[in-house]
Structure 1
Amino acid sequence: MGGKEIPTPRAVARTVLITVLVVVSLYVLYLLRTPIGWLLIAAFLAIALSGPVNLLGRRMRRGVAIAIVYVGLLVVPIGIGAVVFPPIVNGVDELARNAPTYANDVSDFVQDNGRLRKINEDYNVTDNLEQEAGKLPGRLGNAATVLSNVGLGIVNSIFALLTILIFTAFMLGSGRGWILAGLRYLPEQRAYRIQRVLQRSASAVGSYVAGALFQALVAGVLSFAVLTILGVPFAAPLAVLIFFLDLIPLIGATVGAVIVGVVTLFSDFPADTIVWVVWAILYQQIENNVIQPQIQKRAVDINPFLVIVSVLFGGTLLGVLGALVAVPAAASIQIALREYADLRGIRPREEETPDEAPPDPPSEAAPEPA
C-alpha cells in the first residue's frame, strides 16, 4: 500500500529538539545582542589600532605600546572637547540672545528684494520668523543646561565605551595568540583558509579606516579654510565637527554641511550662506564621485548598494558606532563568502554579449500520426 512514510517517534523527537534548540539559541543571541555588538566593535577597533601598536611594538614591549596608543586615544578627544565645546556653549547662548535681531535682519533683506517681498506678503514668512525668534531665548535658556542633557547621554554610554576599550586591549594583546591556538584544532587546509580570510579582512578594515580618516581630514581642513576666508565664527570647532561627522558613511558629510549652513545664517547672510552651500555641494560631488569610490575600491571593493544596506543595518542595530563599522564588516563578510565559493568551486556564469542571442530551447518532436 503506497503512501508517505510515517516518521518514527525518535525522528519526531529529534526534529522537535532541534527546533527548540534553534529557537532558544536565537532568543539567547537576541538577549546578548548588545555585548555581541560590543565585541564586534572591539574587534574592528583592534584591527584599526593594530597598525600603530605593531609599529611601536618593534621598539618596546607590546603592553607598553598598547598603553601609549590608549593614552593618545584619550588625550585627543579630551583636547578636542576642550577646544570645541566652550565656543559651542557661547555660540548657543549668543544665538538665543540675538535671535530676534537676526530675524529682523532677515526681514530687512526680504523687504529689500521685490520677489521675496511678494512671497513674504503672501505667506507672512518674516512675521512668523520674528514671532518664533522672540520665543527662542525662553525655549533655549542656558546653553549649559541644554548641553547637560546631552552630557547625561554621554555618561550613560561610559560603561559601554570602557567595556569596548577593555575588549579591544585584550584583543590587541592576545588576539593573535587566541586565533592561532584555535586554528591548531582544525584540519590544516581549513585552518589555512580561515587564516587567509582573517588576514584579508584585517587588511580591508585597516585600509578602510586609513582611507576614511584621510577623507575626513581633507573635508575638515578644506572646510576650515573656507570658513576662515568667509570669516564665519567658530571655524575651528565647526571644522572638527565636520571631520568627525564625515566619518559616518552616506549621511555624515551632509549633516555636517547643514549644521555649518545654519551657522552661516547668523554670520553674514546671505553672502556666507550662498558661498557655503555652493562649496558644500561642489565638495560633496568631488568626495562622492572621486575620493570615496577610490577609497572603497582599494580598501573594501564592495557594491554601493551593499554599502547603503550595511550602514542602515549597522546604524539600526548599534547606532552611530554600528554605522561606522558597517562597511568594513560587510567587506569582511564578502571576503568570507568569496572564500567559501572558491572552496566549493562556485563560479559565476560568463555573461553573454548583447550581440549573441540565447539559443532556442529544444522543441519537442511532434507525435507521428497513427
Structure 2
Amino acid sequence: MKIRRPRSRGGATKSPATSTSSAPGVAPRAPGAPAPRAPGGPAGAATPTAASGAAAAITQGSRRRRRGIWEDSLGRAAIRAAQVLLVLGLATVLVIGLRELKLLVIPILIVTILAAAMSPAVAFLRRHGWPNALATWATLIIGLGGLGTILWLVGREIRDESDQLVEGAESGLDQLQDYLATGPLGISEEQITAAREQLTEFLTSDTVQGGAIAGASAAIEVVAGTLLGIVILFFLLKDGRGIFGFFLRPLDEDVRPRVWRIGERSVTVLGGYVRGTAVVALVDAVVIGVALVILGVPLALPLATIVFLGAFIPLIGATLAGTLAALIALVANGPVTALIVVAVVIGVNQLEGDLLAPVVIGKALALHPLAILLALTAGTIVSGIIGALLAVPIAAVAWAALKEWRATDPDRGPDQMGDGGPGDDAVAAPARRPLRRRSVQ
C-alpha cells in the first residue's frame, strides 16, 4: 500500500532534499529564508520585462516631446508674452471701469491725498488733548476755509480787473493785426477778415453751444463730487486707521502686516509729496506774483494763484502758468514787460528744479524725471487735467508700495502705526515672523 504525504496549504510539499537544493554555483538557501529579490527592486518584485520597459521609455519620450514645446526659449517667450497681455488686458478693463465711475473715483483719490497731507494736524491736536471729533472738525474748517478764501479773492480780482483785461486784449489784437498786415509775413487784410469771420462762426455754432451745455453738466458733477469729497475727507481724518483696518480683515494673517506697512508707507509718501509741493508752489507763486505787481501786469493775484496750482503738475505746470502770465503781460503792457516776465519765470523754474524740489520733495517723490513724464502723459490721456494732477502722486505711491512689498524688515502690525486714535484695535497685530528675502529677477 502506497502512503501519500500530506499537502501544505500553499501548494505541494517538497522533500527536504528538494527544498534545500540549489542550482550549480549558487549557495544553498536555508529552510524558511526569504526568497532573493531583484537588484534595486522591492522584495518579491519581479524584474520588468523588455516589452514593459520599452513601453515606459516610449511614454516618457512622448511626454518630454510635449513639454519641450514650451521649455525652449521660444516657448518661454510665448508664455511670458501671454502673461503680459493678460495683465495689460486686466489693467485696461480696470481703467475703463474707473473712468465710468469717475464721479466717485476722482473725489476719493483727491480727498485721500488731502487726508494724507492734513492728518499730521489732526494727530498734533489729538496729542495735545483735543477730542478726536473736535480735532477733525478744526482741521477741516481751517483747511477748507483757507481754500475758500483764496478762491473768493481770486474771483473778486478777476471781476475787478476784467474790463481792463478786455481792453488790453482788444488793443493787443489790433496791434497783432497791424503787424500781420504790414510785417514780413505778408498776410492781406482779406485773409485776416476771413479768419476773424471763421472764428466768430465757430463761437456761435452748435458745437460751442453743446459744449456749454456739457460744461453746465460738468459743473453739476463738480459740485456733487465736492460735497461727496468733503464727507469722505471728514471720515478719513476722523477714523482713517479704522477704515483701513476694516478692509484688511479678509486678508490672511501672514499677508496683513505687509499690506499694513504698504498703507503706512503710502500715507507717508502722499503727505510728504503734497506738503513739499505746496511749499515749492507757494515760493513760485509769491516770486512771480510780486514780479507781476511790480511790473504793473493786471490780474496779478489770479495769475499767482494759477502758478500755485500749476506747480502741482511737475515739470510743466509752473512753466505753463508762467507762459500764461507772459501772454497777459504782452497783451496789456507790451513786449518788454512780457520778456521780463519770461525771464522771471525761467529763473523761478531753475530755482525750483535745482534747489527747492530736490530738498523739499526729493525724498518723498523718488521718481526719475522720465517716469514722471510718462505718468503725466498717461494721466492726461486718461482723465485730462485731473489725471495730470493725480498721475505723479499715484505713480509715487505705486513705486513706494513695490519697494515696501520687497522689504526685508520684520513685520509690523497695526499696533505700531504712528499716533493713537480711533481704529487702533480694528485689526489685531498678527504674530511677527521674519520675511523671506525676495530675489529680484
- Tell me the TM-score normalized by structure 1: 0.72
Report deviation, 1:80: 2.1
2:146 to 60, 70, 76: 76
Report deviation, 1:71: 2.1
The residue type equivalent to 1:164 in the other structure is: G
> Given that residues 133 and 238 in structure 2 are in contact (C-alpha distance below 8 angstroms), is that contact kept between their aligned partners in structure 1?
yes
Summarize the Cα distance change of 1:339–1:237 in structure 2 as closer, same or farther, 3 Å threshold.
Answer: closer
Q: What is the distance in 1 between the residues matched to 2:174 and 2:399?
A: 56
Greater radius of gyration (CA): 2
> Given that residues 154 and 302 in structure 2 are in contact (C-alpha distance below 8 angstroms), is that contact kept between their aligned partners in structure 1?
yes
Q: What is the distance in 2 between the residues matched to 1:290 and 1:278?
A: 18
2:186 to 123, 147, 150: 123
Summarize the Cα distance change of 1:179–1:298 in structure 2 as closer, same or farther, 3 Å threshold.
Answer: same
The residue type equivalent to 1:44 in the other structure is: I
> Do residues 30 (structure 1) and 97 (structure 2) align?
yes
Q: What is the distance in 2 between the residues matched to 1:285 and 1:83?
A: 29
SS of structure 2 residue aligned to 1:60: coil
Partner of 1:87: 157
**Cα deviations across residues 310-357 of structure 1 (Å, max 9, x unaligned)?**
2233333344333323222222211221233345634559xxxxxxxx
Q: What is the distance in 1 between the residues matched to 2:394 and 2:353?
A: 21
Partner of 2:111: 42
Partner of 2:267: 202
> Given that residues 99 and 136 in structure 1 are in contact (C-alpha distance below 8 angstroms), is that contact kept between their aligned partners in structure 2?
no
Matches within 5 A, 1:246-265: 246-265=311-330
Report deviation, 1:40: 3.2
1:284 to 349, 357, 378: 349
Summarize the Cα distance change of 1:127–1:298 in structure 2 as closer, same or farther, 3 Å threshold.
Answer: farther
> Do residues 312 (structure 1) and 377 (structure 2) align?
yes
Partner of 1:366: none
Unaligned runs of 5+ in 2: 1-58, 68-85, 408-434
Q: What is the distance in 2 between the residues matched to 1:139 and 1:65?
A: 53
Matches within 5 A, 1:348-367: none
Partner of 2:132: 62
Q: What is the distance in 2 between the residues matched to 1:61 and 1:125?
A: 73
Q: What is the distance in 2 between the residues matched to 1:134 and 1:87?
A: 32
Q: What is the distance in 1 between the residues matched to 2:301 and 2:212?
A: 19
> Do residues 234 (structure 1) and 299 (structure 2) align?
yes
Q: What is the distance in 2 between the residues matched to 1:37 and 1:52?
A: 24
Q: What is the distance in 1 between the residues matched to 2:185 and 2:96?
A: 58
Report deviation, 1:183: 4.5
Report deviation, 1:208: 0.7
Q: What is the distance in 1 between the residues matched to 2:396 and 2:310?
A: 21
> Given that residues 379 and 387 in structure 2 are in contact (C-alpha distance below 8 angstroms), is that contact kept between their aligned partners in structure 1?
yes
> Do residues 330 (structure 1) and 422 (structure 2) align?
no
Matches within 5 A, 1:48-197: 48-57=117-126, 58-97=128-167, 99-104=169-174, 120-124=183-187, 153-181=218-246, 183=248, 186=251, 188-197=253-262
Partner of 1:345: 437
Percent identical among aligned pairs is: 27
**Cα deviations across residues 132-183 of structure 1 (Å, max 9, x unaligned)?**
7899999999xxx999996764333111122222222222222202333555
Report deviation, 1:188: 5.0
Report deviation, 1:263: 1.1
- Tell me the TM-score normalized by structure 2: 0.61
> Given that residues 315 and 321 in structure 1 are in contact (C-alpha distance below 8 angstroms), is that contact kept between their aligned partners in structure 2?
yes
1:298 to 359, 363, 366: 363
Q: What is the distance in 1 between the residues matched to 2:344 and 2:197?
A: 32
> Given that residues 216 and 244 in structure 1 are in contact (C-alpha distance below 8 angstroms), is that contact kept between their aligned partners in structure 2?
yes
Q: What is the distance in 1 between the residues matched to 2:212 and 2:156?
A: 11
Summarize the Cα distance change of 1:273–1:190 in structure 2 as closer, same or farther, 3 Å threshold.
Answer: same
The residue type equivalent to 2:183 in the other structure is: N
> Given that residues 157 and 301 in structure 2 are in contact (C-alpha distance below 8 angstroms), is that contact kept between their aligned partners in structure 1?
no
Q: RMSD across aligned C-alpha pairs, in angstroms? A: 4.0
The residue type equivalent to 1:345 in the other structure is: R
**Cα deviations across residues 113-143 of structure 1 (Å, max 9, x unaligned)?**
xxx99x80442489977997899999999xx
Summarize the Cα distance change of 1:228–1:36 in structure 2 as closer, same or farther, 3 Å threshold.
Answer: closer
Q: What is the distance in 2 between the residues matched to 1:120 and 1:227?
A: 30
Report deviation, 1:26: 4.5
Summarize the Cα distance change of 1:121–1:179 in structure 2 as closer, same or farther, 3 Å threshold.
Answer: closer
The residue type equivalent to 2:355 in the other structure is: V
Summarize the Cα distance change of 1:186–1:87 in structure 2 as closer, same or farther, 3 Å threshold.
Answer: closer
The residue type equivalent to 1:334 in the other structure is: W
> Given that residues 379 and 391 in structure 2 are in contact (C-alpha distance below 8 angstroms), is that contact kept between their aligned partners in structure 1?
yes
The residue type equivalent to 1:274 in the other structure is: L
> Given that residues 296 and 302 in structure 1 are in contact (C-alpha distance below 8 angstroms), is that contact kept between their aligned partners in structure 2?
no
Summarize the Cα distance change of 1:105–1:237 in structure 2 as closer, same or farther, 3 Å threshold.
Answer: same
Unaligned runs of 5+ in 1: 6-18, 111-115, 350-370
Q: What is the distance in 1 between the residues matched to 2:124 and 2:292?
A: 36
